[in-house]
Chains A and B, each alone.
Chain A
Amino acid sequence: EAQVTQNPRYLITVTGKKLTVTCSQNMNHEYMSWYRQDPGLGLRQIYYSMNVEVTDKGDVPEGYKVSRKEKRNFPLILESPSPNQTSLYFCASSFSGRATEAFFGQGTRLTVV
Chain B
Amino acid sequence: TQLLEQSPQFLSIQEGENLTVYCNSSSVFSSLQWYRQEPGEGPVLLVTVVTGGEVKKLKRLTFQFGDARKDSSLHITAAQPGDTGLYLCAGTGANNLFFGTGTRLTVIP
Contacts and interface: CB of A to CB of B under 8 A. Distances in A.
Given A104-B43, A105-B42, A107-B42, A98 B99 contact: no
B96 to A, nearest CB: 6
A107 B41 contact: yes
A59 B93 CA distance: 13
Interface in A23-76: 33, 35, 40-45, 48, 50, 56, 58-59
Given A59-B1, A107-B40, A99 B45 contact: no
A45 B43 contact: no
Nearest to B99: A43
Contacts of A86: none
Interface residues of A, number: 26
Given A48-B95, A50-B95, A56-B95, A99 B31 contact: yes
Interface residues of B, number: 29
A63 B90 CA distance: 25
Interface of B: 1, 4, 6, 9, 30-31, 33, 35, 40-45, 48, 50, 88, 90, 92-102
A45 B97 contact: yes
Contacts of B1: 59
A50 B93 CA distance: 13
B92 A40 contact: no
A74 to B, nearest CB: 14
Contact of A101 (B4, B48, B102): B48
6 contacts: A45-B96, A98-B31, A102-B97, A104-B41, A104-B42, A106-B42
